[in-house]
Structure 1
Amino acid sequence: MTVFFDILLFISSILLIVGLRKLSHPESANNGNILAAISVGLGIIVSIFYPMETQNNNYLFIALGIIIGGIIGLIAAKKVAMTAMPEMVSLFNGFGGFSAALISLIWLINHNSSGGYADLSVVLFNLFLGFVAFTGSMVAFGKLSGKLKDNHLKIPYASIVNITLLILAVVLIGVFAYQGKLTHVHLILFTVLSIIYGVTFVAPIGGADMPVVISLLNSLTGITAAISGVMTDNKLMLLGGILVGSSGIILTLLMCVAMNRSLVAVLFGSFSSAKAGETANSVNGVIKEISVSDLAIQLAYTERVAIIPGYGMAVAQAQKIVKDVENLLASKGVELKYTIHPVAGRMPGHMNVLLAEANVNYDKLLDLEESNEYLSSTDVAIVVGANDVVNPSAKEDPSSKIYGMPILDLSQTKNVVVLKRGMNPGYAGIENPLFFKDNTKMLFSDAKKSLESILSELKQL
């Protein structure tokens, strides 16, 4: 029987690797998701029935957990809108960290909070990371959903507090592991410390930095899953955790480059965070507006068009209308590409997911370097709900808190049209001088309504 279960785990591991690989391209992503789901399903079956002798009478509790979790997951999958996907990803990621923390707690309780130096240090490290991932993800969920504002969790000297708590946690892990045991009081205090650090770690983060921290928290959850796999002798959990943790770290480093931030700054909470009412230096200039009909004529008789999507496109759920505009322009011989910033939206790959939902050809999505090359020779660039990722302050204003961040550069684009509800600053709370540039015009309205009007005008030309 043991050999049979080992074979199932091997098959499951192969399916997981192949499934994750297929997720790298929209055309194969659906099949990849199915393969990964089958892999996890097999892993759950093996975890339930192997080893049989340790299960005792726990099957009722296992069944209840599967049923309750399955119902919640099904409802979430059916009800949650694409605009709420970032906070949902953060929420689910937090539950993963919480699960790992609970596994560590159960291990410590079953072993009377004692063990060898290596065992205790690894378990306590996993407990710490698990609760940090959990509480940090809960704070991120609150920020992304708008339920938690930056001024709700003001922490004086946040960087110093975070460094102090982190050092304290590392020292305590070393002390407890050296002693070979810890009391229940010590365990409770260490758990509380881990929970608090998760909150203080994410609380100072604001605005455009959120995709970076989501990626980092995701990698922490992957690491805890890998460690939990070692603790429970679950090879599939170990493999999955290694894949998620390593890919999350790689993605975090790439996001740091895109945000012009070091990983050290990320780890110690040195993120930018807009204070209440804080904006960059006041921007003066004259706003120039454009009508829907004028923009439609301009689009119909041009050669190269770029769409720059942002979170405003997600809120307006305008991705499918964007695709319709692309199809109509293509029928008129107009070339159109999507120029995407790595941190556009509220989570890594947010814009790619939305455009994939609208069946946009993956080859039309350009990364940052390709985008700037394309934008330098583009006739018309339409900014659909993006703000901070096109803000020239990152290049022109040393006093701006996003100074040095790579952006989608529209300085050489012939014509820029910004679809925006009003003149409010973006998520990072910074005014955008782009709106006052000579080559920029504004089209004030809901992004979806504006695009629908543009589509209607194009059909009449």
Structure 2
Amino acid sequence: MRETSIQLAYLVATFLFVVALRSLGRPDTARRGMQLAAIGMAVAIVATLFNAHILSYEWIVVGCVVGAVAGYPLGMWVPMTAMPQRIALSHAFGALAATLVGVGEYSRGFAVGDIGRGHVVALGLEVLFGGLTVTGSLMAFGKLQEILPGRPMTFRFQHGFNLALMACAVCGLLWLIIDPTNLAVAIAMLSISLVLGVLFVLPIGGADMPVVVSLLNSYAGLAAVATGFAIDNNILIVVGALDGLSGLILSVAMSKAMNRSFSNVLFGAFGSPVASAEGAAAAGGEMTAIAAEDVALRIAYSDRAIIVPGYGLAVAQAQHQVRELADLVDKRGGDVRFAIHPVAGRMPGHMNVLLAEAGVPYDKLVEMEDINERFAETDIVLVVGANDVVNPAARTNPNSPIFGMPILKVADAKSVVVLKRGRGTGFSGVENDLFVDPKTSMLFGDAKQSLLNLVVEVKNV
């Protein structure tokens, strides 16, 4: 009876997770989706606590307290601008849990001499994917937090060395299947997986972090699936499969949005200084500076305006100021929309989350496919911290590293104003032809302060 009740609770939790995942596909239902996912996780945890194999609850209580103490500030106090690195850190914790379960199960089986070949396959995959995800996610966190350099870091024969390490890990797993009690091989495989995580993210530049974070999410899901098989837990198998597959689908979609293959993202070292030099040669020209007063006049008297947010908006934490500016223009009779590129920011949906947190109505957030044809009839486009996603070189320069990438057609607008801290390149290191276009003006300075100045000037118009 107890086991039947647990499995029914797992079925309810699975249903809630599926509905939650579907709800996360739309900004206006995403909040409800997160709430359903939280309820589903609570149901799964409570059901698991009734498992007959649990002999003592002391450490479980300690774990719950520690998790709650750590999770609350991560959820409530971390600003929306830091969500990408928080997500990466969450992946690291989740994968660490799976890895520790794998290590614990193997240690228990090794101690009692009861570890079968089928069991060791699940444990091996669990440790391999889990270990890789732990260190890979920590590396991604370091790059996003700028603790580590955001540029790609490469060395000679790097790809060959990584492939050799991966081959060693696979050979170690095959060896363990043949001889499950070989402790030295098990330790070596765990060590290799941890090193692989570091080397996997090391050559990837900040411009590709959204895809990397999504892919690491997929690896964490695969580790959870392996954990489910290892400890015979159905909910882990189902939820891990949902997590892994959704992360993979999202990674593919984001690679498509950048017109790049997985292999190019993972091994291309996009954003290297070489790409920057090529871009600079192609771009040429000079940027034209503009004063806040002139920008305010343009946008205050515009009938149609589009604001393009990018990572610079998140860094400046200027989402509330950009919403206030849009509200002012709306009150003056202008039509303001926000153009959202699928890979703008440092995580999937970064701009949607940021602007929704600032109170921008969901109907103001327009996806790239729906807004691109409106740029030609737009009076002014305000680009706030975006770079590659508005670079016309993706359409016009076959020699550009981003050629073929779907972009927002900002260059088609009647006038463009770019809010930018300085004259340097963006995170990818590729020069932007839009910035030297004759119809483009540059409002230099911190984005938050520039928007505050624009708000004041528009009020005075």
Paired residue for 1:100, among 98, 101, 110? 98
Of all paired residues, the percent bearing the same amino acid is 39
- Whichever residue aligns with residue 70 of structure 1, its letter is A
Q: Distance in 2 between matches of 1:310 and 1:103?
A: 39
Q: Which residue of 1 aligns with 2:182?
A: 183
- Whichever residue aligns with residue 27 of structure 1, its letter is D
Q: Deviations over 1:34-54 (max 9, x none)?
A: 222122112112222212xx2
- Whichever residue aligns with residue 49 of structure 2, its letter is I
Quick one: structure 1 residues 207 and 401, their matched pair in 2 at CA, closer, same or farther if it must change by over 3 Å? farther
Residue 75 of structure 1 and its aligned partner are, at CA, apart by: 2.1
Q: Secondary structure at the match of 1:64?
A: helix
Q: Which residue of 2 aligns with 1:43?
A: 44
Q: Deviations over 1:193-218 (max 9, x none)?
A: 11111111110000311111111001
Q: Secondary structure at the match of 1:441?
A: strand
Instruction: Answer whether contact 2:169 2:193 (CA < 8 A) is retained.
Output: yes
Task: Tell me the C-alpha RMSD between the 2 structures.
Answer: 2.2
Residue 286 of structure 1 and its aligned partner are, at CA, apart by: 2.6
Residue 188 of structure 1 and its aligned partner are, at CA, apart by: 0.8
Q: Distance in 1 between matches of 2:226 and 2:89?
A: 21
Q: Which residue of 1 aligns with 2:348?
A: 348
Q: Give 1:4-83 correspondences, 5 Å limit.
A: 4-51=5-52, 54-57=53-56, 59-83=57-81
Q: Secondary structure at the match of 2:267?
A: coil
- Whichever residue aligns with residue 243 of structure 2, its letter is V
Q: Distance in 2 between matches of 1:365 and 1:356?
A: 9
Instruction: Answer whether contact 1:226 1:237 (CA < 8 A) is retained.
Output: yes
Q: Distance in 1 between matches of 2:365 and 2:27?
A: 11
Residue 392 of structure 1 and its aligned partner are, at CA, apart by: 2.7
Quick one: structure 1 residues 45 and 76, their matched pair in 2 at CA, closer, same or farther if it must change by over 3 Å? same
Q: Distance in 2 between matches of 1:378 and 1:118?
A: 62
Quick one: structure 1 residues 70 and 322, their matched pair in 2 at CA, closer, same or farther if it must change by over 3 Å? same
Quick one: structure 1 residues 152 and 11, their matched pair in 2 at CA, closer, same or farther if it must change by over 3 Å? closer
Q: Give 1:245-264 correspondences, 5 Å limit.
A: 245-264=244-263
Structure 1 stretch displaced more, 256-265 or 244-253:
256-265
Q: Which residue of 2 aligns with 1:412?
A: 412
Q: Which residue of 2 aligns with 1:200?
A: 199
Quick one: structure 1 residues 122 and 22, their matched pair in 2 at CA, closer, same or farther if it must change by over 3 Å? same
Residue 263 of structure 1 and its aligned partner are, at CA, apart by: 2.4
Q: Which residue of 2 aligns with 1:323?
A: 323
- Whichever residue aligns with residue 382 of structure 1, its letter is L
Instruction: Answer whether contact 2:259 2:406 (CA < 8 A) is retained.
Output: yes
Residue 276 of structure 1 and its aligned partner are, at CA, apart by: 9.6
- Whichever residue aligns with residue 318 of structure 2, its letter is A
Q: Deviations over 1:344-397 (max 9, x none)?
A: 111111111101112222232222222322223322111001112222333334
Instruction: Answer whether contact 2:339 2:371 (CA < 8 A) is retained.
Output: yes
Residue 431 of structure 1 and its aligned partner are, at CA, apart by: 2.2
Q: Which residue of 2 aligns with 1:386?
A: 386
Residue 28 of structure 1 and its aligned partner are, at CA, apart by: 3.0
Q: Distance in 1 between matches of 2:330 and 2:310?
A: 22
Instruction: Answer whether contact 2:271 2:427 (CA < 8 A) is retained.
Output: no
Quick one: structure 1 residues 377 and 117, their matched pair in 2 at CA, closer, same or farther if it must change by over 3 Å? farther
Q: Which residue of 2 aligns with 1:453?
A: 453
Instruction: Answer whether contact 2:135 2:197 (CA < 8 A) is retained.
Output: yes
Structure 1 unmatched ranges of 5 or more: none
Instruction: Answer whether contact 2:218 2:244 (CA < 8 A) is retained.
Output: yes
Q: Distance in 1 between matches of 2:3 and 2:412?
A: 65
Structure 1 stretch displaced more, 248-257 or 228-237:
228-237
Structure 1 stretch displaced more, 194-203 or 298-307:
298-307
Instruction: Answer whether contact 2:80 2:357 (CA < 8 A) is retained.
Output: no
Residue 318 of structure 1 and its aligned partner are, at CA, apart by: 1.4
Quick one: structure 1 residues 185 and 276, their matched pair in 2 at CA, closer, same or farther if it must change by over 3 Å? farther
Q: Distance in 2 between matches of 1:165 and 1:377?
A: 54
Q: Distance in 2 between matches of 1:425 and 1:9?
A: 50
Q: Give 1:287-326 correspondences, 5 Å limit.
A: 287-326=287-326
Q: Distance in 2 between matches of 1:407 and 1:182?
A: 54
Instruction: Answer whether contact 1:158 1:269 (CA < 8 A) is retained.
Output: no
Q: Give 1:108-187 correspondences, 5 Å limit.
A: 108-112=106-110, 115-150=115-150, 154-177=154-177, 179-187=178-186
Quick one: structure 1 residues 291 and 150, their matched pair in 2 at CA, closer, same or farther if it must change by over 3 Å? closer
Q: Deviations over 1:1-24 (max 9, x none)?
A: 333323322322222223333333
Residue 230 of structure 1 and its aligned partner are, at CA, apart by: 2.7
Q: Secondary structure at the match of 1:359?
A: coil
Q: Secondary structure at the match of 1:306?
A: strand
Instruction: Answer whether contact 1:328 1:458 (CA < 8 A) is retained.
Output: yes
- Whichever residue aligns with residue 274 of structure 1, its letter is S
Structure 1 stretch displaced more, 148-157 or 103-112:
148-157
- Whichever residue aligns with residue 428 of structure 1, its letter is S
Residue 123 of structure 1 and its aligned partner are, at CA, apart by: 2.2
Q: What TM-score do the two structures reach when normalised by structure 1?
A: 0.92
Q: Give 1:364-375 correspondences, 5 Å limit.
A: 364-375=364-375
Quick one: structure 1 residues 410 and 26, their matched pair in 2 at CA, closer, same or farther if it must change by over 3 Å? closer
- Whichever residue aligns with residue 93 of structure 1, its letter is H
Instruction: Answer whether contact 1:208 1:343 (CA < 8 A) is retained.
Output: no
Instruction: Answer whether contact 2:125 2:226 (CA < 8 A) is retained.
Output: no
Q: Distance in 2 between matches of 1:295 and 1:40?
A: 49
Instruction: Answer whether contact 1:108 1:114 (CA < 8 A) is retained.
Output: no
Quick one: structure 1 residues 105 and 142, their matched pair in 2 at CA, closer, same or farther if it must change by over 3 Å? same
- Whichever residue aligns with residue 9 of structure 2, its letter is L
- Whichever residue aligns with residue 5 of structure 2, its letter is F
Q: Which residue of 2 aligns with 1:234?
A: 233
Q: Deviations over 1:246-299 (max 9, x none)?
A: 111110000110122212444x53341424995433443232222222222212
Structure 1 stretch displaced more, 83-92 or 32-41:
32-41
Instruction: Answer whether contact 2:308 2:338 (CA < 8 A) is retained.
Output: yes
Q: Deviations over 1:287-324 (max 9, x none)?
A: 22222222222122222211110111111111122222
